[in-house]
Amino acid sequence: MVALLFKTSLRWRLTLLISGSVVLPMFGTLLIASYQGSQILRKEAEDKLILQANSLAHKVTQWDEKVVQIMNNLNLQPAIQDMYGSEQEPVLQAGIAVYPDMYLINTLDTDGFNVARSDRKPLKYYGDRNYFKRAIAGQEVSREILLGRTLDKPAIVFSTPIKQTFYGEKPEIVGVLALAITLTEVTQQVQAIQVGKTGYAFVVDSQGKILAHPHSHQFKALQDFHEYPPVKSLINGRSGLLIFEDSDQNKWVSYSISLPNGWGAIVQQQKSEILTQVNQFWQFSIVLAVGVLIAVSGITWVIATQTIQPIRQLNRAVQLTAQGDLGQSVIAKKQDEIGLLAQSFNAMAHQLKDLFDQLEEKVKERTKELAKANQLITALNHKLTLENGRMEAELLILTEIQNMVLPKPEELQEIEELDIATYIQSATEVGGDYYDILPHPGGITFCIGDVTGHGLESGILMVMTQVAVRTLIESDSHNFIEILNILNKTLYKNIARMNSDKNITLSLINYANFHLIISGQHEEVIIGRANGTLERIDTMDLGLPIGLEEDITPFLNYLTLDLGPGDGVVLYTDGITEARNEAKRMYGIERLCDVLRQSWSHSSEEIKQAVLGDFNQFIGEVALRDDITLVIFKC
């Protein structure tokens, strides 16, 4: 789309650009205003629902409290408390006159039979009613919604226990006062609420039955609304705003309030009616935006046409100049930006003509300069090739020196008391791993180390280490702590002279008559027992990397242990345990130990081949990132 736009004429691009720069901000402003307007309209609608619901809840609560007060006042009368029917009847008749919606006040004994009635009808049994059971149980005010036996229509019965105090003792329940009243006033309060064209209010009891509803058929039979979403939410203890969809797929916004007596007051309105004004505002915004777009586009088209005509003339002159006609010029009548551009073109055209006249001579001069530069580059390339050849030869020589100082197979075969197998492989031409096996009158010393990194510096330090260790061993110095201390001082100074940051982890292991001495810090030393079990010796507390500090005497220590026939030792560098495969998983010491356990009953060479086979299978095609060394010997 963007590429197609840039292929159109400048007139169209200017029109689209200016129109877009006006319409897009306008649309953004309208979008924000519409959103804010919709939020205000929604808030006003919700506030209206809340106000109506609070008003209804307040009026219903007042009505309930008024009825309860009438009942409590009657219950305080001595005639009511004495439980004599002939004395109670006038009091009940006087009470029925207080409130026109009350159609019956009666008293019942503790068995549920009438003692007196305000309507003077035959006395009945009401012991099966829940309001009676709750009052006898001691509930101060009980309410029950039912179809009255007297009027045969929905009504509510309020009840309270009648108590007497005998001889100053605790009051005892001697009967029940019950007051039956229609829901006419509550229904009138509900019908008085009108929210828009679709909104209305209703009242339910604690079980979800309709008590008052603007549609009379909904409450005449105490219709059960406990599954209606706002009623269900209220029963579950969640009042307040709720948006829901009824069985006819109409969406509603409701506000519900839980009353002190357990009832619920609910006011609701269809969501579509709430959003009507929002939709009208959106329609007006769209019509306005389209009108502005058409007006801006028309004005822009006229301005673009007047602007582009001189540009076309300038473009024609540029094309002819590009074809070689350097005598072109354009008439600059206006002093605006386009006129200034025309003047600049005329000046440029004259300069081009002058430059073209001088170009051929300058080309000849520059060609000579390029020829000289090419000769210099050729000489530098030749010198670089020679330098690379020299450095490659030096690396090959150092690699050869490293290989020359490693123990030869025939040397290892002369050590008859041990079965020895070794392996070393560098990640680059020159590695930093080091191992050596040095027989001497005091036994056989195994050395294994790892110079940080690899390359020329690491290889030189490896050779230095081998020479220094061999010199110290050959000088009959078999005190490992003394050897490591001297070695560290020597290499520390050489490393400083080389201006290098390298150091070496190094362990010395001396074997003599089934007895081992281990000193120096390196990877773990693995001891294999004849029965196939393995022991891992941590060397972290036996030394410090060589060349890291000038004096490492306080850190040096040694460890001794005994071997038996079939026992052996495995030495390695971290190039094995820290190698990663294509999935970035590390080979690890645990996997190495698993392979050693499985193959320990074999010879050292077979054990070595098992380890290398498993290692190569693990890393697959991943190139080595570090040198690897493996030394195994068995008694």
Q: What does the pLDDT look like over 392-442, one tens digit per residue?
A: 545 455 566 666 778 988 888 989 899 999 999 887 755 678 899 999 988
Q: Is the pLDDT assigned to residue 7 strictly greater than 60? A: no
**525-528 and 210-212 beta bridge pairing:** unpaired
Q: Which residues pair with 179 in a beta bridge?
A: 105, 158
pLDDT of residue 244: 87
In this prediction, residue 397 carries a pLDDT of: 56
In angstroms, the CA 628 to CA 612 distance is: 10
pLDDT score at 560: 96
Question: Amino acid letter at 617?
Answer: Q
Cβ-contact 19, 293 below 8 angstroms: yes
Q: Where are the alpha helices (DSSP H) in 406-479?
A: 409-413, 456-474
Residue 614 has pLDDT above 60, yes or no: yes
Is residue 3's pLDDT more than 60? no
E-state strands within 469-519: 504-512, 515-519
For residue 29, what pLDDT is reported? 76
Determine the residue type at 391: M
Structure tokens at 522: 């390196």
More confident residue, 315 or 162: 162
Tokens 């492989």 map to which residue?
425
> Please, what are the domains in the chain?
76-182 (3.30.450.20), 186-274 (3.30.450.20), 406-634 (3.60.40.10)
The pLDDT of residue 296 is 72
Label residues 26-49 b or e (16+ Cβ within 10 Å = b).
bbeebeeebeebbeebbeebeebb
**Beta-bridge partners for 341:** none
* DSSP letter string, 75-142: HTSHHHHHT-HHHHHHHHHHHHTT-TTEEEEEEEETTSBEEEETT-PPP-B-TTSHHHHHHHTT-SSE
Kind of pairing, strands 515-519 and 558-562? antiparallel
Maximum Cα interatomic distance, the chain, rounded to a whole number of Å: 141
Residues, the chain: 635
- Residue 360: pLDDT band (50, 70, 90) is low
Quote the CA–CA distance of 325 and 111 in Å, as a whole number.
125
Q: How confident is the model at residue 542 (pLDDT cuts 50, 70, 90)?
A: very high
Strand spans (E) along 228-281: 240-245, 251-258, 264-270
**Tokens 């100049």 -> residue:** 321
pLDDT given at position 569:
97
Taking alpha carbons only, the member of 70, 123, 122 closest to residue 97 is: 70
| pLDDT for res 187 | 80
Question: Measuring CA to CA, which residue among 169, 38, 183, 174 is closest to residue 101?
Answer: 183
pLDDT in tens, 440-453: 988 999 999 998 87
- Pairing between strand 504-512 and 534-537? unpaired
| Of the candidates 521, 611, 602, 539, the residue with the CA atom closest to the CA atom of residue 568 | 602
Contact 501, 476 (CB under 8 A): no
**What is the helix (H) or strand (E) element at residue 355, kind and residue range?**
helix 337-405
Is 487 in a helix, a strand, or coil?
A: helix
Pairing of strands 525-528, 443-451: unpaired
Least confident of 122-126, 194-198, 390-394, 455-459: 390-394
CA–CA distance, 108 with 136 (Å, rounded to integer): 10
Please report the pLDDT score of residue 304 as a whole number.
67
Which residues are paired to 441 by β-bridges?
none
Which of 2-16, 64-78, 130-144, 277-291 is predicted least confidently? 2-16
pLDDT at site 221: 57
Q: Which helix (H) or strand (E) holds 525?
A: strand 525-528
Look up residue 429 and give its DSSP letter: S
Question: In this predicted model, what pLDDT tens digit does every residue of 149-175 receive, in sequence order?
Answer: 555 567 889 999 999 887 767 888 999
Distance of CA 272 to the CA centre of its chain: 37
Does 356 have pLDDT greater than 70?
Answer: no
Task: Quote the pLDDT of residue 616.
Answer: 95
Q: Counting beta carbons within 10 angstroms of the beta carbon of residue 191, is it exposed (0 to 12), middle (13 to 18) or buried (19 or more)? A: middle
Write down the pLDDT at residue 477: 72
Bridge partners of 262, per DSSP, are none
C-alpha–C-alpha distance, residues 132 and 112, integer Å:
7
**Which pair of tokens denotes residue 53?**
């619901």
Instruction: Tell me if 283 sits within 8 A of 30, measured CB to CB.
Output: no
- Residue 39 CA to chain centroid, in angstroms? 30
CA distances to 108, 112, 149, 412 from 125, rounded to whole Å, are: 8, 6, 11, 115
- Provide the percentage of residues in the chain whose pLDDT is more than 70: 80
Q: Is the distance from CB of 154 to CB of 145 less than 8 angstroms?
A: yes
Query: Which of 102-106, 259-263, 269-273, 541-545 shows the lowest per-residue confidence on average (mean pLDDT)?
Result: 269-273
**Mean per-residue pLDDT of the chain:** 83
How much helix, strand and coil, in percent to the nearest 5, is found in the chain? 50, 20, 30
- pLDDT winner (highest mean) among 76-80, 289-293, 312-316: 76-80
Burial class (CB in 10 A: 0-12, 13-18, 19+), 558: middle
Determine the straight-line distance between the first and last CA of the chain, rounded to whole angstroms. Answer: 80
- Give residue for tokens 């840039």: 6
Q: Which of 361, 49, 362 is nearest to 201 (CA)?
A: 49
| Structure confidence at residue 152 (pLDDT) | 56
Alpha carbon 581 to its chain centroid, in Å, reads: 29
Is residue 41 scored above 80 in pLDDT?
Answer: no
Does the structure show a pLDDT above 80 at 182? yes
Indicate whether 488 pLDDT > 80. Answer: yes
* Contacts of range 120-126, beta carbons closer than 8 Å, 24 or more positions apart: 120/89, 121/150, 124/149, 126/178
Q: Where are the alpha helices (DSSP H) in 138-204?
A: 184-191
- Picking from 451, 501, 442, the residue whose alpha carbon sits closest to that of residue 472 is 442
* Tens-digit pLDDT profile for residues 49-70: 888 889 888 998 998 899 899 8
Most confident of 147-156, 236-245, 264-273, 415-424: 415-424
Alpha-carbon distances of 174 from 141, 162, 354, rounded to whole Å:
16, 6, 128
Which of 4-8, 126-130, 326-330, 525-529 is least confident? 4-8
Instruction: Give the Cβ contact number of residue 63 at 10 Å.
Output: 17
Distances (CA, A) of 36 to 49, 100, 197, 288: 20, 50, 24, 18
In this prediction the pTM is: 0.45
Q: Which residues contact 237 (CB under 8 A, 6 or more apart)?
A: none
pLDDT at 110: 92
Q: Are 587 and 578 in contact (CB under 8 A)?
A: yes
Residue 16 exposure: Cα atoms within 13 Å on the Cβ side? 11
Q: Which of 579, 538, 553 is nearest to 482 (CA)?
A: 553
